[in-house]
Structure 1
Amino acid sequence: MKLFHTTRALVWAAPALAGLVWSGTVWALNINAIILKELKQNGTHLKLNFSGMLGDDGVRQLARSRLLKKVETLDLNSHGFGNAGAQGLADSKYLPNLQTLNLFNNRIGPEGAAALASSNKYPHLSHLNLWGNQIGPSGAEALANSDTLKALEYLDLSGNGIGDPGLIALARSPVLERIRILRLDKNGVGDRGLAALASSPYLGNLEVLSLSHNEIGQEGAKVLAESPYIRKLRQLRLERNRIGDVGVKHLAESEAFQNLEELDLQWNGITETGAHDLAGSPVLTRLNRLYLWGNEIGNAGVRAIKKSDNLKNVGNDVYPSLN
């Protein structure tokens, strides 16, 4: 473990110093002291946000601690660990009750994703957050090929560069069968990947789909609107794509979205024409949140939406009106 040399780093690391012990000539983590300090809810919840950055070595030590045996929620966001730390978690004998694993903003690559995907040490895992790692297409494929992640209900792979190849692999996987919430923001996903997802027969339980900050165009919107597998969808987030008015028309006319309650179409090149299609939609009557900032719908588009009987349940400001 590295010593902290600057005053600023020492201040940042101060919470972790209580978990350091002197071992011969170096400082080492007293991981059990850190765990005992942060364990909550009768030992079932462990969130290590105030223990410094564990890194690979720290996470591997953590994974070998018997104190994890009752843990159901393990939050290791922003700890700077990569494949070795992920392998340590995958090999742990002390996570039989784990249900939620938050690994947001680390350095896990394809090998780490493969290790997590192949482990049988946490059979009850239902929530997996890998937002902001580096698993790439092959890491997504490893997750898709998993025989042990069949209980997943929540999967966040945002910011991992999985691209169309990674999404195509996921779309073919029964791992998605129980997924209710799927977040795939900032992944370079385009129409080809979305076409594969829309054709997946494993989306029957999907309620939330987030695809913001990708490269989805009107064809992607079309295939999604034609999908027979997403009838339970309640939230759809397509912020910062490029579906345009044509894409909006496909969404507004699709019976696949008759249960939709929240729709985010910010920054998609939508004009007044698209706003009128939304206002006239006979299938979006359950919407209570609609987001259109960053488009060019103008005052006329805003008025059409505000006056729409079909969208009367929308309760937020959908657009910065000029009036």
Structure 2
Amino acid sequence: MSEKITDVFLQLFCEKNSDGTKHLRLKGNELYQRISYRLTHKDMHRVASFMKEYVGEIVSLDLSYNDIGDEGMKILAKEFFNEDNNLQHINLMQCSIKSEGMKWLVTSEYLKLKSCRVNGNEIGYAGARWIASLIQNCLSLELLDIAETDQTWESIECILIVCEQSTLKVLDISKIIPPTYYTKYDPALLADELAVLLKVNAILVELHVQKCAFDGHDIDILVSGLRSSKSLQLLDLGYNRMGDLGVRAIARWLRTGPPLRALMLPGNTIRELGARALSFGMPFSKVRYLDLTDNKITDLGLSIILDKIKKYYQLRYFFIWGNTIGPITCERMERMLASGVLHQEGIDIKLYTVDGELHAAYYPTNHYKHKYYSVMDHGCAIELKIKRNKIHHPDSLPRALIKFSHIDRYPPVNESLGLKVRKESVCPEDEEN
């Protein structure tokens, strides 16, 4: 046990929220840079004791990138989770937790979790039953991140069946089955199970399915379920291999005007034909966040998309870095920035002129993965001081057009406007713009 992990030390890592609650931030990568040490199971007694002292105030716990293991989860479960605890959010990413640790978390009494992230742990198929049990028994759970947890096809199938009648609004199963020789599976079966989930679950808002080896035909199967979903607002299909065929299926679905607000398709080998197909579907969609980074779209393909984003539901975030950005795209982008169709803080390129010719440089606007992987804001430990987080009311004005996990809210809250007055007579369609 490190002698530096004292109550005073933990107080410095306890962020205060404006609503009177606290967020205990104990990220292993930050601790290692500060004291060359990551938390182990021996430190969990002290952490649990500190949390019991502020049991009604601490609502969020971040233990990502530590080495607490199953024994650490056992200590936390036994010494902290009681009827007085108010813990709503827990981040256990890359904490060396296996099936036994998941068991101790799930079998804890008085769980009140709203979000649980266990991505990057080798929970395996033996821990799938405890993941399913968490979904079934924790009726307050809204966000579950089980990406990269070394499942098998049989175990993930059982988890998805449980998700059909659950309270989940956000589900992340990216790279859920490791692509090794011993764990081969047919991605079409996973796409079919997800299609069934989308047809049955009426409250799912976000679905993240990165790195699952979906090709164009698998996406076609998935779209059959997307057509039935009336609640999905964010779809993340990054780093699959859908190609132009898969984008065509997505574009046909967008023509039907689904409630989708954010579409993430980075790293999918999309070319000019796929970009052209997407441009035909975009004018009919409600998409305000579009991520096409790290594809193979040509300069002409990007210009075709730019010509079609002037639509009723204005695009607020548009990311294209990693494609071929040539003079045609730069000219279109310059014109749209001048006219106000796009804004610099909503795109990931910055235009500059050399010898009278426009060029594009990377502009760090897309912070999605930065926040998802709990990367430190400045890449290194900064001055240690008590941080205070402003928690805005859900009805704060102006009304949120984009509001998802790890994505900046658009537009930002203007406190001088107060709260929005709800009118029962107003139709949802009238509030979309």
Q: How does the TM-score come out when normalised to structure 1?
A: 0.80
* Counterparts in 2 of 1:219 and 1:100: CA distance versus 1, 3 Å: same
- Larger RCO (CA under 8 A, 6+ residues apart): 2
How many residue pairs get aligned? The number is 303
The one-character-per-residue Cα deviations of 1:114-166 (angstroms, maximum 9, x if unpaired) are 32114433112101112332224334312211068611111122232374432
Match of 1:168 in 2: 192
- Measured in 1, the distance between the counterparts of 2:80 and 2:277 equals 53
Residue in structure 2 matched with residue 271 of structure 1 by the alignment: 298
Partner residue in 2 for 1:42: 56
What pairs with 1:183-262 in structure 2 (closer than 5 Å)? 183-200=208-225, 201=227, 203-227=229-253, 231-254=258-281, 258-262=285-289
State the AA in 2 paired with 1:155.
L
The alignment status of 1:60 with 2:103, answered yes or no, reads no
* Mapped partners of 2:240, 2:201: distance in 1: 20
Q: For the structure 1 residues 90 and 256, does the alpha-carbon distance in structure 2 shift closer, same or farther, using more than 3 Å as the test?
A: farther
CA distance 1:217–1:312, change in 2 (3 Å)? farther
Pick the aligned partner of 2:132 from 117, 131, 143: 117
- Distance between the aligned counterparts of 2:160 and 2:119, measured in 1? 19
Query: What is the Cα deviation at residue 235 of structure 1?
Result: 1.3
Structure 2: 5+ residue runs without aligned partners? 2-31, 179-186, 352-357, 360-433
Q: How does 1:76-115 map to 2 (within 5 A)?
A: 76-95=92-111, 97-115=112-130
Provide the rounded CA distance (Å) in 2 between the counterparts of 1:75 and 1:13.
19
Taking a change above 3 Å as real, the CA distance of residues 110 and 50 of structure 1, as seen in their structure-2 partners, is closer
CA-CA distance at 1:110 after TM superposition:
2.8
- The 5 A counterparts of 1:128-143 are 128-143=144-159
**Equivalent residue of 1:209, what SS?**
strand
Residue type at the aligned position of 2:50: K
**CA 1:256/1:152 → structure 2, altered by over 3 Å: closer, same or farther?**
farther
Alpha-carbon shift at residue 282 of structure 1 (Å): 5.9
Q: Deviations over 1:80-119 (max 9, x none)?
A: 0122222332333331x22111213211223323321144
In structure 1, what is the equivalent of residue 410 of structure 2?
Answer: none
Q: TM-score, normalised by structure 2?
A: 0.61
Residues 17-72 of structure 1: per-residue CA shift (max 9 Å, x gap)? 873xxxxxxxxx63xx4223246682452415289522123223433445354322
Residues 1:271 and 1:106: Cα distance change in structure 2 (over 3 Å) = same
Q: Secondary structure at the match of 1:250?
A: helix
Compared CA separation, residues 160 and 190, structure 1 to 2 (3 A) = same
- CA positional deviation for 1:279: 2.4
When structure 1 is superposed on structure 2, of 194-203 and 219-228 the one drifting more is 194-203
Partner Cα separation in structure 2 for residue 17 and residue 132 of structure 1: 22
- Deviates further, 260-269 or 104-113: 104-113
Q: Is the partner of 2:96 in helix, strand or coil?
A: coil
Alignment correspondent of 2:391: none
* Distance in 1 of aligned mates of 2:87 and 2:124: 25
Counterpart residue type for residue 171 of structure 1:
A
SS of 1:177 mapped into structure 2:
coil
**CA distance, structure 2, for counterparts of residue 14 and residue 222 of structure 1:** 47
Q: What CA distance in whole angstroms lies between the structure 2 residues aligned with 1:202 and 1:92? A: 36
For 1:235-278, what per-residue CA distance to the aligned partner results, in whole angstroms no more than 9, with x for missing partners?
11111111211111222111585211111111221112212321
Q: 1:248, 1:68 → 2: CA distance?
A: 53
Residues 88/14 of structure 1: CA separation in 2 closer, same or farther (3 Å cut): closer
SS in 2 for 1:45: strand
CA–CA distance in 1 between the matches of 2:257 and 2:106?
32
Identity of aligned pairs, percent?
A: 21
Match of 1:294 among 306, 322, 339: 322
Residue 430 of structure 2 aligns with which residue? none
Q: Displacement of 1:230 after TM fit?
A: 6.7
CA RMSD of aligned residues (A): 3.3
Instruction: Describe the shift of the 1:35–1:284 C-alpha distance in structure 2 as closer, same or farther (beyond 3 A).
Output: farther
